[in-house]
Structure 1
Amino acid sequence: MRNDLTVTQRKLADAEKQVGNERARAQVASDRFGFLAQKVKGVKARIRTNHGDIEVEFYPEKAPLHSFSFITRAESGYYDGTQFHRVIPGFMIQGGDPLSKDDNPANDGSGGPIVSIPHEFNDIEHTPGILSMARTGDTRYGAGSQFFIMHKRYPSLDGQYTVFGKATKGIDVVETIVNLPRDRNDRPQTPAKILSIEVYR
């Protein structure tokens, strides 16, 4: 009985320690995310496409990880040469897949970084021009590099995808891209390329 009690006490102690570690990690993460929000505050981006430019602002106070991730990838040239591989009128245009650079349209939409980031669902609605992050499955860590810009209001996405910015200029470019002729997989029949993304304050 005494041995059983000792084992139980050890398990409880380990559990308490684990809870303490989780709380500590959560606090560190919170502090780190706050730092990221300050780091990218006021940053904007100009998405240069072969159909014109789209200027976006970010919401780091709502989605610090997503804002920071997109901005750092843009600065590194990660998105250069990728395409808006999925366009649906009345819905959105989607891009950011590195596999869309190759000549194999069959793999478009399946690429992205090995490491994904946790969702930052918030209360911002998916209205025209909203910049939101695509995700894979329902896992907590499902956000990679693919993003989409809303064409029209789509309430069913609210609280299910992370909004991290909004297009402030170039809505006409979104309109042009979303209305390009497309195949049965909603891929534009003529490329809608991201030539580069300029990050500025």
Structure 2
Amino acid sequence: MIKPILLSLLFWTASLVLLANERSISTEIQESDPIKIEMVTNFGTLIVQLYDETPLHRDNFLRLVKEGTYDSLQFHRIIRNFMVQAGDIRSKNATLTDTLGGSDLGYRIPAEIHPHLFHKKGALGAARTNNPDRASSSTQFYIVQGRVQNDSLLQHNENRINQFLASHFATNDPDNKPLLDSLAAARKEKNEELVKTLSAQWNELTKTYSRFDRYTIPDAHREVYKALGGTPHLDQSYTVFGEVISGLEVIDALAGVETNRQDRPVVEVRILSMKILPK
């Protein structure tokens, strides 16, 4: 038989354990709360939520926000029904006629491409050059506007996704290195006829390349694309590391400005400030 004093002691100990567990659970929930960024532009304010599934991009973006890197930068590339792009560090003091789009901080972020992160309207993606690792620019990013899709468009975009994937995996296939090296050498020597011949061989190879798992747009993504819109053909080729959770109408305002033939806005479109919101 358990005596009353021992029973009280056991109850007190159990209460402490339960309290500790509750505090631990509370801390875990707090730590897992998504990080949110307030992005103030001269066309309105966006609230962006960063994904924990892409920690390299998340942490890089956070550091740049804290350092004020994005404050006063321009949206230097805007394509209506596609996306708005910013992050060229030269754009802070650039005029409307300066050529932009080629500058960042000189390092790349390894790709963090996940099947469940996709280019719906409001998606925050990392811009990049056409490098074989699909590594991202240190500073340049884009926000998706896109357009509402239907089944026919989605099928077309799924084919485009797989064309991009075929090219990516073919480029990284050691068996294809001799052809790519020859093509690079021909370009360096400016042998236009040989470049034309080898390029045709490469294009034909990528059309039939099949050493990869073909991608199918998931049904859940299809429903979002048909209801909200987006740019499906970018899926699985670029890192999506966040999304706009407030201010989708601001994306439409940004994307609606007049641009020139180089997709450069003819009026100033700026990020006035960015800050991390308290949890």
Q: Which bin holds the TM-score, normalised by the shorter protein?
A: 0.7 to 0.9
CA distance in 1, matches of 2:257, 2:272: 18
SS at match of 2:140: strand
1:137 to partner: Cα distance = 1.7
Q: In the alignment, which of 121, 129, 136 is matched to residue 136 of structure 1? A: 129
2:121 aligned with 1:109? no
**Deviation digits for residues 150-175 of structure 1, max 9, x if unmatched?**
00211110010000000011111110
- Alignment match, 2:263: 186
Q: Distance in 2 between matches of 1:120 and 1:197?
A: 23
Name the stretch that deviates more: 137-146 or 126-135: 137-146
- Counterpart among 69, 72, 82 of residue 91 in structure 1: 82
Identity of aligned residues (%): 35
Count of aligned positions: 163
- Name the CA distance, whole Å, in 1 between partners of 2:238 and 2:31: 23
Is this contact kept in 2: 1:47–1:54, CA < 8 A? yes
Describe the shift of the 1:130–1:142 C-alpha distance in structure 2 as closer, same or farther (beyond 3 A): closer
Which sections of structure 2, spanning at least 5 residues, go unmatched? 1-29, 147-229
| Per-residue deviation, 1:40 | 8.2
Q: The residue matched to 1:106 in structure 2 has which SS?
A: coil
Counterpart mapping for 1:26-41 below 5 A: none
Consecutive aligned runs of 4 or more in structure 1 exceeding 3 Å deviation: 38-41, 104-107
Q: Distance in 2 between matches of 1:99 and 1:40?
A: 35
Counterpart amino acid of 2:90? L
Give the aligned partner of residue 21 of structure 1.
none
Structure ranking higher in helix proportion: 2
- 1: distance between equivalents of 2:65 and 2:85? 16
The higher-RCO structure (CA 8 Å, 6+ apart) is 2
2:244 to 152, 158, 167: 167
The Cα of 1:39 is off from its aligned counterpart by: 7.4
Q: CA deviation at 1:101?
A: 1.3
Match of residue 253 from structure 2: 176
When Rg is computed on C-alpha atoms for both structures, the one with the higher figure is 2
TM-score, normalised with respect to structure 1: 0.76
Compute the displacement of 1:102 (Å): 2.3
- Provide, for residues 62-115 of structure 1, a one-character-per-residue CA deviation record: whole Å limited to 9, x for no partner: x11001111110111000110111111110000011111123543311110122
